[in-house]
Structure 1
Amino acid sequence: MNPLKVLVVDEFDSDLALEQSLKQHGYQVATLKLRALNLLDVVKTLQPDAVVLNLYTPDDKVLNMMLEINQQHSVPVIMFAEDQQTETINKVIKAGVSAYIVDGLEPKRIKTIIDVAIARFREQQALKNELKKTKDQLEERKLIDRAKAILIKSQGYSEDQAYHALRKLAMDRKVSLGEMAKNVISMAELFK
């Protein structure tokens, strides 16, 4: 099994404990300083398995970068910080940070924290994917029902006949039932 690639973004110049600890636990580590860094481009280029930030407090610029990373790349983000304010914690969670560790950068705990954050992130991703799949199925079902209603009204079909006609059209054209429903709806709107 390949070692996990971890991108470390460190605000503190003198502290290498985080990087050294990660390397001791077998992670591949790339460490960058926070100053004038476009983190989104770095994540896109390096494609790390996790991003770890070590900073005093996450400002709005950092939080916006975290939000963009979560929207464009599927990667867990672990943040070590000193700021314990409830407002900051709420902002960090809204930005999609997987783990926010306050005042707890102890080398012996780092591996466990990262492993738990990655596991939680994967579980959340699985839930998001399942939710998206369910929403897509519901949306497709609505399209099919709407297309059936069009066929019932325009062709005088029963609901069962409309479904079978829609299904036959989909099979004949080698498209999904949902795609065929979209086509029927589009055609009906075209002839209005």
Structure 2
Amino acid sequence: MAVRVVIAEDEAIVRLDLKEILEEEGYDVVGETGRGDEAIELVRKQRPDLAILDIKMPGADGLTAARAISSERMAAVLILTAFSQRDLIDQARQAGALAYLVKPFQKSELLPAIEIALGRFEEMKALDEQVKSLEDRLEARKLVERAKGILMDEMGWREPDAFAWIRTTSMRERLQMPEIARRVIDGSLRPDPA
């Protein structure tokens, strides 16, 4: 499947050249604009893989658009600009740009910059998923620990017994252990008195 791209460049001729190069190389240009504020909306609507943003644009500059797009992890961001000052490069990086290309650019520079941006974006998404998974596991662990504590206090059980009851109940009820733990914590589930 072709990589989907949104282009935000206020110079129409540059935008046209960029679109032509991308389409020749098999990319799918799903939106284009000359305004930064419209770029953010286009990316939200089209959900492209990549947003190519000029820095200087009306409406909102490319750095503002990059910040919005990156903070919501909507697409990889490549900044395209006529300016190569160190402070602008730093600002672009802080805004979430994953690659930076100075105009006038060559096709031989554009394509590797795109691939770098896309690769970094995939790495970031994978890390986000890993963090989310770890957070979910930690939250589940906290729930089970709290429920064990409640059972130990109320039933006078040792920790292994409380854990075994949660695990056994989870299998019997066909629910995840954190769900059983939630029910113990909210008081809706208790062991049958022996």
Category of TM-score, reference length = shorter chain: 0.7 to 0.9
Deviations 1:63-107 (A, max 9, x none): 343333234454211111234444433433233222123456222
Say if 1:22 and 1:110, in contact at 8 Å, map to a contact too: no
Which residue is equivalent to 1:105?
A: 105
Stretch of structure 1 that moved more, 15-24 or 97-106: 97-106
Q: Does 1:147 align with 2:147?
A: yes
Q: Secondary structure at the match of 1:48?
A: coil
TM-score, structure 1 length as denominator? 0.81
Q: Secondary structure at the match of 2:78?
A: strand
Q: Unaligned regions of 5+ residues in structure 1, if any?
A: none
Deviation at 1:124, TM superposition (A): 2.0
Q: Secondary structure at the match of 2:26?
A: coil
Which residue is equivalent to 1:54?
A: 54
Provide the C-alpha distance between the structure 2 equivalents of 1:143 and 1:58, rounded to a whole number of angstroms: 50
TM-score, structure 2 length as denominator? 0.81
Q: Secondary structure at the match of 1:97?
A: coil
Provide the C-alpha distance between the structure 2 equivalents of 1:30 and 1:92, rounded to a whole number of angstroms: 23
Q: Unaligned regions of 5+ residues in structure 2, if any?
A: 189-194
Provide the C-alpha distance between the structure 2 equivalents of 1:19 and 1:59, rounded to a whole number of angstroms: 21
Say if 1:29 and 1:60 are closer, same or farther in 2 by CA, change over 3 A: closer
Say if 1:19 and 1:83 are closer, same or farther in 2 by CA, change over 3 A: same
Say if 1:79 and 1:99, in contact at 8 Å, map to a contact too: yes
| RMSD between aligned residues | 2.7
Say if 1:57 and 1:81, in contact at 8 Å, map to a contact too: no
Which residue is equivalent to 1:80?
A: 80
Which residue is equivalent to 2:192?
A: none
RCO higher in structure (CA 8 A, sep ≥6): 1
Structure 1 counterpart of 2:107, which letter? Answer: P
Identical amino acids, percent of aligned pairs = 27
Which residue is equivalent to 1:11?
A: 10
Say if 1:80 and 1:104, in contact at 8 Å, map to a contact too: no
Say if 2:36 and 2:61, in contact at 8 Å, map to a contact too: no
Provide the C-alpha distance between the structure 2 equivalents of 1:89 and 1:179, rounded to a whole number of angstroms: 48
* Alignment size in residue pairs: 187
Say if 1:17 and 1:36 are closer, same or farther in 2 by CA, change over 3 A: closer
